[in-house]
Homo-oligomer: A and B are copies of this chain.
Amino acid sequence: MTYCVAMALDQGLVLASDSRTNAGVDHISTYRKMRIWHRDDERVLVLMSAGNLAITQAVVAVLEQNVKAESEGHSLMMAPSLYDCAVLVGQAVRQVHARDAKALKENGVDFNVSLILGGQIKGEAPRLFLVYAAGNFIEATPETPYFQIGESKYGKPVIDRVIKPGTDLTQAAKCALLSLDSTIRSNVTVGLPIDLLLYRRDSFSIDNHQLIQEHDPYFEDIRARWGQGLNSLFQVIPDPPWAIK
């Protein structure tokens, strides 16, 4: 499995993904799931993927080929808006579906893929899209300013409690890491390293990109503090008022 989360905030975007891939418990590997396309002062595009690794790699390969070919109407680097980029991601999903879905079905494998596309193109605000396996997609709004893909449920409560559009990038980064921590603790198919990108609105920069490895001092520190803090908080929550016989 995988876990990726992205938040669309007033200050910009926060995107985080784990790197664990498993095809059965005896085939667990590390594949990073965040792909970045960038042109200074003009556009930043970040794609994160969950689902069947062969499918997600094929989708990225299609998008890469079209970028390299500078293919008018097909290249993410030439699309005039993030919306048009989401359309291109959806088209790449459909192209892979047309090639692979029948053979996968014959082998009893679902065509399982979901993608988060975030970024900014000059002239627009930062935007965030969730692309489904059918190639259709939705956009994040202030009412629902975040998307998750993959093994999303363990890490949802902390986001539901903290994230609002006004949350600043620093706090949102902390929240994303704690959300990943909860997921990694409860599910063995999600693991380090973590790709974390903080994108500041109108910066068109990918400078705030961290790869958080095993034994990262900050991540270890907040994991420990969060765990101890939750236990301390649990202790001070009042006990039930009923006498227990």
Residues in A lying within 8 Å of B, measured CB to CB: 153-154, 156-158, 160-162, 169-171, 173-175, 177-178, 182, 185-186, 198, 200, 203, 205, 207-208, 210, 218, 221-222, 225-227, 229-231, 233-234, 236-242, 244-245
A161 touches B245 (CB 8 A): no
- Complex alpha-carbon distance, A214 and B177, angstroms: 33
Q: Which residues of B lie under 8 Å from residue A237 when comparing CB positions?
A: 174, 178, 222, 225-226, 229
Can you name 5 A-B residue pairings with CB atoms under 8 Å? A157-B157, A161-B227, A174-B240, A177-B240, A208-B242
- Complex alpha-carbon distance, A182 and B241, angstroms: 21
B208 touches A245 (CB 8 A): yes
A174 touches B239 (CB 8 A): yes
Q: Which residues of B lie under 8 Å from residue A225 when comparing CB positions?
A: 236-238
A244 touches B198 (CB 8 A): yes
Q: Which residues of B lie under 8 Å from residue A170 when comparing CB positions?
A: 239-240, 244
Q: Which residue of B lies closest to A198 (CB)?
A: B244
Q: Which residues of B lie under 8 Å from residue A153 when comparing CB positions?
A: 153-154, 186
Task: Identify the 4 closest CB pairs spanning chains A and B, nearest first.
Answer: A153-B153, A229-B233, A157-B182, A207-B245
Q: Which residues of B lie under 8 Å from residue A185 when comparing CB positions?
A: 157, 160-161
Q: Which residue of B lies closest to A177 (CB)?
A: B240
- Complex alpha-carbon distance, A225 and B231, angstroms: 14
Q: Which residues of B lie under 8 Å from residue A171 when comparing CB positions?
A: 234, 239
Q: Which residue of B lies closest to A151 (CB)?
A: B153
Q: Which residues of B lie under 8 Å from residue A154 when comparing CB positions?
A: 153-154, 156-157
Q: How far is the CB of A3 from chain B (nearest CB, A)?
A: 11
Q: Which residues of B lie under 8 Å from residue A162 when comparing CB positions?
A: 231, 234
- Complex alpha-carbon distance, A174 and B241, angstroms: 11
A203 touches B158 (CB 8 A): no
B210 touches A238 (CB 8 A): no
B161 touches A244 (CB 8 A): no
A245 touches B173 (CB 8 A): no
Q: Which residues of B lie under 8 Å from residue A205 when comparing CB positions?
A: 245
A240 touches B160 (CB 8 A): no
B244 touches A200 (CB 8 A): yes
